[in-house]
Amino acid sequence: MKAAVVTIGDEILIGQITDTNSGYIAKALDKIGIGVYETRSISDERHHIMDTLSYFQNRVDVVVVTGGLGPTKDDVTKMAFCEYFDDYLVRNEEVETHVIALIERAMNRPASQINKDQALVPSKAKILHNAVGTAPGMLMKRADTIYISLPGVPYEMKYLVDNEIIPFLIERFERPYIIHKTIITHGQGESLVAERIEDWENNLPDFIKLAYLPNPGRVRLRLSARGTDEAFLQNSINTEVEKLKVLIGDIIIGFDEGDTIEVVLGRILKQKGKTIALAESCTGGKIAQMITSVAGSSAYFKGSAVTYATEAKVNVLKIEQQLIDVFSVVSAQVAENMALKARQLFNADYAVSTTGNAGPLKGDSAVEVGTVFIGIATAKGVYSEKLDLGQPREKVIERAANKALEKIYQEILKN
> Which listed CATH number (2.40.50.140, 3.30.70.2860, 3.40.50.2300, 3.10.150.10) goes with 177-253?
3.30.70.2860
> Which listed CATH number (3.40.1010.10, 3.30.565.10, 3.40.980.10, 3.60.21.10) goes with 2-172?
3.40.980.10
Distance CA 271, CA 252 (A): 18
Domains 2-172 and 261-414 share a fold: no
Closest CA to 277 of 351, 380, 349: 351
pLDDT digits (tens, 9 = 90+) for 103-146: 999 888 999 999 999 999 999 999 999 999 999 999 999 999 99
Distance CA 285, CA 401 (A): 9
Distance CA 402, CA 398 (A): 6
Distance CA 345, CA 304 (A): 10
Instruction: Return the pLDDT at 161.
Output: 97
In the chain, domain spans: 2-172, 177-253, 261-414
pLDDT of 151 above 90: yes
Percent of the chain scoring above 90 in pLDDT: 83
Residue pair 64/34 in contact (Cβ under 8 Å)? The answer is no
Instruction: Return the pLDDT at 70.
Output: 83
CB-based contacts of 232, cutoff 8 Å, min separation 6: none
pLDDT of 75 above 90: no
> Which listed CATH number (3.90.950.20, 1.10.730.10, 3.40.50.1820, 3.90.25.10) goes with 261-414?
3.90.950.20
Instruction: Return the pLDDT at 343.
Output: 98
pLDDT of 374 above 80: yes
pLDDT digits (tens, 9 = 90+) for 301-343: 999 999 999 999 999 999 999 999 999 999 999 999 999 999 9
Q: Is the four-CA dihedral 111, 92, 131, 33 of positive or negative sign? A: negative
pLDDT of 241 above 90: yes
Closest CA to 133 of 105, 165, 168: 105
Distance CA 90, CA 119 (A): 8
H or E segment and range at residue 25:
helix 21-31
Q: What is the pTM of this model?
A: 0.67
pLDDT of 258 above 80: no
pLDDT digits (tens, 9 = 90+) for 263-297: 999 999 999 999 999 999 999 999 999 999 999 99
Distance CA 355, CA 373 (A): 5
Task: Over range 371-395, report the average pLDDT.
Answer: 94
Mean pLDDT for the chain overall? 93
pLDDT digits (tens, 9 = 90+) for 342-364: 999 999 999 999 999 988 777 76
Residue-wise DSSP of 127-171: EE--TTSSS-EEEEEETTEEEEEE-SSHHHHHHHIIIIIHHHHHH
Distance CA 247, CA 227 (A): 27
- Compute the half-sphere exposure of residue 348: CA atoms within 13 Å on the CB side of its CA: 27
pLDDT digits (tens, 9 = 90+) for 5-63: 999 999 999 999 999 999 999 999 998 999 999 999 999 999 999 999 999 999 999 99
pLDDT digits (tens, 9 = 90+) for 188-220: 889 999 999 999 999 999 999 999 998 877 899
